[in-house]
Homo-oligomer: A and B are copies of this chain.
């Protein structure tokens, strides 16, 4: 048996089945401060219970972008955890407590004591306000709907631009080290994570030239997301319909 070590960092991936959304819980175990990325309103009870059982203090509910396929859990989580602030890109157009810009960082834990740091990288193209978040310490990147496993977000609504998305992925994500893990906002095939090297090598869209990529994205002929008419206005208000 190995000697016991004290883990400093908690990472938990969670799945919402209806919209095939991944939610991520990260915590600094020295201070118990936590943040959650892309919570879904339908699974707020599960997530809140987990946060409470783990004894964590939820500081931030971060959205990678204004989602069209599910309602964010940020607003409901803020009700349950009054110290929790919602975070989203300044380009998103959504209401939030904190707006982040490309190059800024989100931190939980104490400076000087190996806190958990997320570097914000603007990755527009699926929407104008899409932000990816890099944890260098944990060699991972949360890509939202910009880069998916062997795919990418659609670009046919919400200010989508396949040209911008190609630039974002090539310059902001594929420039990360090969062994960084890729954690997307969705997967529809039961795959939970990938790596930068894998996507650079095997992503059927992103291994193509810019022109071919734009062509592929123009010909996807996707149907309208089921929940978009309900989700977009709600998500612009942090997942809460009404005044709060």
- Measured CB to CB, the residues of A under 8 A from B are 1-2, 4-7, 12-17, 43, 46, 50, 53-54, 136, 139, 177-179, 189-193, 198, 201-202
**A198: which of B1, B2, B53, B139 is its contact (CB, 8 Å)?**
B53
- A46 to B189, Cβ gap below 8 A? yes
- A190 to B53, Cβ gap below 8 A? no
- B177 to A4, Cβ gap below 8 A? yes
- B2 to A177, Cβ gap below 8 A? yes
- A5 to B179, Cβ gap below 8 A? yes
Q: Which residue of B lies closest to A54 (CB)?
A: B198
- B198 to A16, Cβ gap below 8 A? no
Chain B residues whose CB sits within 8 angstroms of the CB of A1 once the complex forms: 136, 177
Closest chain-B Cβ to A60's Cβ sits at a distance in Å of 21
* Known interface pairs A1-B136, A179-B5, A179-B7; A12-B54 also in contact (CB < 8 Å): no
Q: Which residue of B lies closest to A18 (CB)?
A: B190
- A190 to B16, Cβ gap below 8 A? yes
- B4 to A201, Cβ gap below 8 A? no
- A14 to B179, Cβ gap below 8 A? no
Bound-state Cα–Cα, A130 to B16, Å = 29
Q: Which residue of B lies closest to A7 (CB)?
A: B179
- A46 to B12, Cβ gap below 8 A? no
Closest chain-B Cβ to A47's Cβ sits at a distance in Å of 9
Closest chain-B Cβ to A137's Cβ sits at a distance in Å of 8
Q: Which residue of B lies closest to A20 (CB)?
A: B17
Bound-state Cα–Cα, A12 to B191, Å = 8
Bound-state Cα–Cα, A1 to B136, Å = 7
Q: Which residue of B lies closest to A42 (CB)?
A: B190
Closest chain-B Cβ to A225's Cβ sits at a distance in Å of 19
- A15 to B12, Cβ gap below 8 A? no
Bound-state Cα–Cα, A7 to B180, Å = 10
Q: Which residue of B lies closest to A50 (CB)?
A: B191
* Known interface pairs A4-B177, A136-B1, A177-B2; A53-B202 also in contact (CB < 8 Å): yes
